[in-house]
Amino acid sequence: MTWFKRKKQPACPVCGSRKQVPILYGLPTDDAFRRAERGELLLGGCLVSEQSPMWICSDCNKQWGAQQEP
């Protein structure tokens, strides 16, 4: 989970807000559940694809940042 801290938080492509949270895929740890409850990340589920978004805007709920945009 430390890679989230190293990545620069991007601006939302819709509203321009800098209040983003990373989306975590896969089986979450206890720490991930706690961080999700605090709103520090969003649990994205087990299924991940190249189009799965990496970020969600806390202001407008736009999800973006897929590994490979179509």
Confidence class for position 1, pLDDT limits 50, 70, 90: very low
The pLDDT of residue 29 is above 90 = yes
- CB–CB of 58/21 below 8 Å? yes
Full-model pTM = 0.79
Place of tokens 């430390």: 2
Confidence class for position 7, pLDDT limits 50, 70, 90: low
What is the rounded CA–CA span in Å between residue 65 and residue 60?
A: 15
What pLDDT is recorded for position 32? 96
Overall average pLDDT of the 46-65 stretch: 93
* H helices, E strands: number in the chain: 2, 4
Paired strand residues for 22: 55
Map out the domains of the chain as residue ranges.
23-70
* % of the chain beyond a pLDDT of 90: 70
